[in-house]
Amino acid sequence: MKKHNALTTALAVTGCKTSRALLRRLHRGGTTLPGRVAMAFDSGVLEAVSQGMEIIVVTGTNGKTTTSRMIESAMTAAGKDTLANKSGANLLTGVTAEFVANADLSGKPKKQYAVVECDEAALKQIVPLLHPKVILVTNLFRDQLDRYGEVMHTLEQIRIGIAKCPESILCLNADCSLTSSLAEGVPNPVYYYGLDLPVGDQEDVVISDARYCIRCGTEYKYHSHTYAHLGDFYCPNCGYCRTEPQVAVTAIDKVGIDGSAIQVEYTEADGSRTKRDVKVAIPAVYNIYNAAAALCAFEAAGYARDEIISSLAEVSSSFGRMETFDLDGVRVQMILIKNPAGANQALEYLRSVDEDFNAVFFLNDNTADGHDISWIWDADFEKVCESPHLKSVIVSGIRAEDMQLRLKYAGAPEDIMQVIRENEPIIQKCRESRLPVFILPNYTAMLSIRADISAATGKGEFWKG
């Protein structure tokens, strides 16, 4: 570990705290600029202010924020004073701001534990400074092609980060052929998690992101499939296949709008298996994956299983991810969608809703969203547009017309769709609705509409997540 100058560390901490206080007084998030201020005094201050902490880092395409929330909630409930970047500011500046703001003026951390959501491309910058105890990788899908490029590029960025932390324990999704490959040729201890059962229709499965073997290029076969390219994969040519997970979901007893009930088996050090019933308070199949990831990270870190199992039954959603609002008696649920794989799971969840509902779709193409919106044509919006329970649709955002066209082709009747540009009339429409409302925005649209709904319902600002 690099030796840090006490004076520059003190200046970095002072600058960060001062700028953050000013920004929050102005009701700005203060999630990244204070990090830039701190790094102007000491580019590696993150290492100094995290020294001695036990840290779990979570990265991957989908599920980072929710999985981090699950782990942090369990640690906090167990009495572990835990730092987390709940706002979702997951680049180097945002992570630095969070750690520096929670250090004393000498740079000593005030908390012993941390759970850090980390952008995939930023992993190689962040983990060499944090020296995490555990690095958890959720999955890899196509996402923001204009920023990340193809998924193999993202995989290599994560691989570079892991190579800089040979002492960290890896937690990998056994069902993702890309994520699993990160265990090859590294000295790190590795834990795997996954679903030991098929999910949904096993016919006509379409694999787009990881169709061919990462070793030899042969098309994968599957013993069973969950969604997208996830499942019990194997290569019929070279033998590369899914690794048996130490933390495995072996049964899904219930999936409802109030959460799921699952059975999990742990593989013990002596090879025996221990079964546990687990309730997950956040709905949808992809949150079962997130729960399995959180259980695995807790196990790898050496923390008590009972602490996280009890916490998962009570955990609340992270901001914008299955987050529910009560708007004058109307149930409004917000579900972030940002790429085909995640969108398809959200749409599948809506298709499973067994009551009439209204929907709001936002589509922006700001830099943080990715300027390429062609992904909406790869997402299966037909799943919800053909539902007899869908009664009205509002489209909004910078690219509202593109979303409206996509929904039209997906089968949404034109007479139930309308374009509304401003958030306030959308919120008023939700308020007047006698039916539940589902809001599906991409990232910057989510930040905007969530802020306004939070103000209308008395929820905290996003950085309080």
pLDDT digits (tens, 9 = 90+) for 195-204: 999 998 777 6
Task: Answer whether residue 465 shows pLDDT above 70.
Answer: no
pLDDT at 238: 97
Taking the domain 321-464, which CATH number applies? Answer: 3.90.190.20
Residue 314 phi/psi, 5° resolution? -120, -5
* Comparison of pLDDT for 427 and 369, the residue scoring more: 427
pLDDT at 332: 94
Question: Helices (DSSP H) in 164-320: which residue ranges?
Answer: 177-180, 285-301, 305-312
Distance of CA 383 to the CA centre of its chain: 22
SS3 327: strand
With cut-offs at 50, 70 and 90, classify the pLDDT of residue 400: very high
Mapping DSSP onto H, E and C, the string for 128-175 reads HHHCCCEEEECCCCCCCHHHHCCHHHHHHHHHHHHHCCCCCEEEEECC
Give the whole-angstrom CA distance, residue 288 versus residue 35: 33
Its sign, for the CA torsion 77, 79, 80, 83, is positive
pLDDT (mean) for 69-93: 93
Q: Which residue has the tokens 């929050």?
A: 24
pLDDT at 147: 44
Q: Which residue has the tokens 């905290």?
A: 460
With cut-offs at 50, 70 and 90, classify the pLDDT of residue 129: very high
- DSSP assignment letter at 277: E
Most confident of 114-118, 367-371, 374-378: 114-118
Give the whole-angstrom CA distance, residue 196 versus residue 128: 34
pLDDT (mean) for 311-339: 89
pLDDT (mean) for 54-73: 96
pLDDT at 53: 97
Most confident of 199-203, 204-208, 436-440: 436-440
pLDDT (mean) for 208-232: 92
Task: Answer whether residue 462 shows pLDDT above 80.
Answer: no
Parse the chain into domains and list their residue ranges.
6-312, 321-464
pLDDT at 318: 72
Q: Do 321-464 and 6-312 fall under one CATH topology?
A: no
- Mean pLDDT for all residues in the chain: 92
Q: Which CATH number fits domain 6-312: 3.60.15.10, 3.30.70.1290, 3.40.50.720, 3.40.1190.10?
A: 3.40.1190.10
Q: Contact at 8 Å (CB) between 58 and 118? A: yes
pLDDT at 459: 72
Phi/psi region, residue 428 (left: phi>0; alpha: psi -120 to 50; beta: rest), is alpha
Give the whole-angstrom CA distance, residue 340 versus residue 227: 11
Give the whole-angstrom CA distance, residue 224 versus residue 249: 14
Task: Find the angle CA(407)-CA(412)-CA(418) to the nearest 5 degrees.
Answer: 75
Which residues are bridge partners to 134 per DSSP? Answer: 56, 169
Lowest-confidence region among 21-30, 140-149, 268-277: 140-149
The two tokens of residue 67 are 């999985």
pLDDT (mean) for 39-59: 96
Give the whole-angstrom CA distance, residue 313 versus residue 261: 9
pLDDT (mean) for 94-120: 95
| Helix/strand/coil percentages in the chain, nearest 5 | 40, 20, 40
pLDDT-above-90 percentage for the chain: 78
pLDDT at 2: 67
pLDDT at 461: 60
pLDDT at 146: 43
pLDDT (mean) for 75-93: 92
With cut-offs at 50, 70 and 90, classify the pLDDT of residue 163: very high
pLDDT at 399: 97
pLDDT at 364: 97
